[in-house]
Amino acid sequence: MKKIVIRDTTPISPFCEPARDLRIMNKPLWLYQRDVLSPYCQEEIECKSFEEIGTLPVGILAGEILVYRDNLFFDEFLFEAFITVAKKSNKATQIAFSQSDMAIVNHTLPLQDGIRLEGEVYVADLFYYPDGTKITSVKAEPIVIDTQPREMGYYHVPTYMANERGDLGYNVPLRAFLSIENWVHVFLANCVFGVFSHGARIERLLDNFPMMLKILWRSLLERKQFLSSSTLVVVGENTQIDPAAIVQGPSIIGNNVTIGPGCVINACVIGNNVNLMQGVQMTLCVIGDGSYLAFRAALFMTTLMENSMVAQNTCLQMSVVGHNTFVGAGNTFTDFNLLVKPLKVYHKGKLQWVGLPVIGGCVGHNCRIGTGHVFFPARSIESDVVLFAKQGRSVFSKNVTYADSDHHGYPDSGHIVLYHYTVFGKITDKNGSPVADVTISTDQGHQSLTDSNGKYTLTGLIMGTYIITPSKKECIFSPATQLVKVSPDVAKVTDKDFVIVD
């Protein structure tokens, strides 16, 4: 079976890069998708849109075809259920979900458009075609897949902090599906639909008495507590765990990991080459490759992407931290709004309800956060930001953008920006007069509009090569496109000009 991947190049704030490149369960999303689909698909084709699929040669489309958008997170259990029913029907099919599926309704719908109501069901961009040559001529029928949600609470609090029962919980799916369009979805994919779902599946296995007896026997042989046995705690090669540390499953620990004395780890995924100093506490977390946590750092339902560092006495609650980021000592990312108001995050240019009673914060890639700050719930720090410890500024109640970064005041700071490259240019007609309202776009989804002086600025570019294309109704440009390369050595590119010749 071939798979056609529809690229979604929309940058996810505050990371400044598309969902496919963000880490889910310690893998880039594109790699996670590839691993899930590897038993089924042997060839891959990328397209910019669904319409572009119709322009592909018939020979490429012949046979079974799977089509999906690359910002979708789905696990192997969800996909197996979908493809089994789809192949059995021998019809063009599209994944769908019931309006009574609580995992979908309660957790996946806010802050996104990829899962939408059509008729009586919710549908998303995951399709199966037994004959790919009919993709543009046959309408796919929705197939409802049950995510098998289980209501699971993680702690009980006074009712003024949660619902009328005082429960803070989730509808955890045994089959996970999510459209990643906001940093909150990265939190959900890793902690709720990832680690928590893995735990729910293990819990269901323990309902089977022979399986529970097998694990109990293993724990007795190893002289460990039930939750610390090797059946529930999978440990990689060359990993050193201090005898004074407590590690409980279900947990997955990678290779070359060091876990110091007094650490308490409960239901986490820990990547390779991770160092956890003494007294670190983590529950329901995903820790990326090459990360370092200093003594007494405390993380709860938090995702730490690769090569990042959390210093001593820092508390991260239900948060997401990008890669190559340093979070200094004594920082606190809170997750509960003391005011009785719904939590909102910045999404598509405005504040929108997050859909959760509690949520922490998000730090982008390549950030440097100094010591002693407190961040309000649902706040974010954009990639490439540097925040010094300053007298009179310790509490952040608003989002921190790249423009707010302290390094701008220190030109010789040595901070290397990786996610905020800029391209400047001008559009004129053949007489040299400036032309306004011309759309300038890149092949990676960045856009700008020329002003009254014909000038444009493309911002938020990450290191790489881009194709820049101008467009305006009934206009022909020279050149039609331009190639531009940005890097730490060339952070600002100027004079990428175009002329309207007709």
Cα–Cα distance measured from residue 121 to residue 144, given in angstroms and rounded to the nearest whole number: 8
User: Which pLDDT tens digit goes with each residue over 161-214?
Assistant: 555 455 678 899 999 999 999 999 999 999 999 999 999 998 888 888 888 888
Residues in the chain: 502
Q: Say if CB 135 and CB 65 are below 8 A apart.
A: yes
| Domain 232-409 coded CATH 2.160.10.10 | yes
For residue 226, is pLDDT > 90? no
**Domain pair 232-409 / 421-500, same fold:** no
Please tell me what DSSP assigns to residue 487.
B
Task: Compute CA distances 482 → 207, 463, 466, 478, whole Å.
Answer: 61, 17, 8, 9
Amino acid at 342: P
For residue 435, is pLDDT > 60? yes
Tell me the CB-side half-sphere exposure of residue 61, using CA atoms within 13 A.
18
Give domain 421-500's CATH number out of 3.20.20.70, 3.40.50.970, 3.40.50.2300, 2.60.40.1120.
2.60.40.1120
pTM of the model: 0.90
User: What's the CATH class of domain 2-197?
Assistant: alpha beta
Domain edges within the chain: 2-197, 232-409, 421-500
User: Which pLDDT tens digit goes with each residue over 20-38?
Assistant: 999 999 999 999 999 999 9
Neighbouring CB atoms inside 10 A of 254's CB total 21
For residue 259, is pLDDT > 70? yes
Partners of 333 in the beta sheet?
316, 375
User: Which pLDDT tens digit goes with each residue over 191-203?
Assistant: 999 999 999 998 8
Which range has the worst mean pLDDT, 112-116, 307-311, 408-412?
408-412
Which range has the worst mean pLDDT, 271-280, 336-345, 391-400, 468-477?
336-345
For residue 405, is pLDDT > 80? yes
Q: Say if CB 277 and CB 33 are below 8 A apart.
A: no
User: Which pLDDT tens digit goes with each residue over 66-97?
Assistant: 999 999 999 999 999 999 999 999 999 999 99
For residue 492, is pLDDT > 90? no
CA 215 to chain centre: 33
For residue 443, is pLDDT > 60? yes
